[in-house]
Amino acid sequence: MKISTDYLHALEGRIRIKVPEIKGSPAKADELEKQVQWHSGIHSIRANPTTGNVLIYYDSQQTAHTNILQTLYELGYLQQTATPGVVATEPAPEANSLVHVVINSVAQSMMEMALTRLVTALI
């Protein structure tokens, strides 16, 4: 399964993800925190209704970020991606999803670093 989100940044033990459903809704942000904070391996969670970001610290020996994403999906905070005109006959292997997440995370970090260097050079 592939999860649809505009932004995901994952490091071992830490994940930051954009959850549009909480943006502008302190009640929804609070609800998300309460629903997820007691899951196995979660150390802390902070849902920011101003930015729509959710920051989760977790024990990577007890759970994986893919399990956290699955939980957010099951609770209705994230959507599954769908390719128009393509019918999925079976879910994508877990390894492919993890590779996709890691590649996107590395690409995002590289873009942020390049932008920071460009701004620094201009100053």
Give domain limits for the chain. Answer: 3-122
**Which pLDDT belongs to residue 29?**
93
Instruction: Give me the residue label for tokens 């670093």.
Output: 113
**Which pLDDT belongs to residue 91?**
39
Top-level class of domain 3-122: alpha beta
- Nearest one of 79, 76, 70, 62 to 32, comparing CA atoms: 76
**Which pLDDT belongs to residue 84?**
43
Report the alpha-carbon angle 65-60-9, nearest 5.
40
List per-residue pLDDT tens for the chain, 123 residues long.
Answer: 455 566 678 888 999 988 888 999 999 999 999 999 888 899 999 999 999 999 999 998 998 888 888 888 888 888 765 544 333 333 344 444 666 666 777 777 787 888 888 888 888
37 CB burial (10 A radius; 0-12, 13-18, 19+): middle
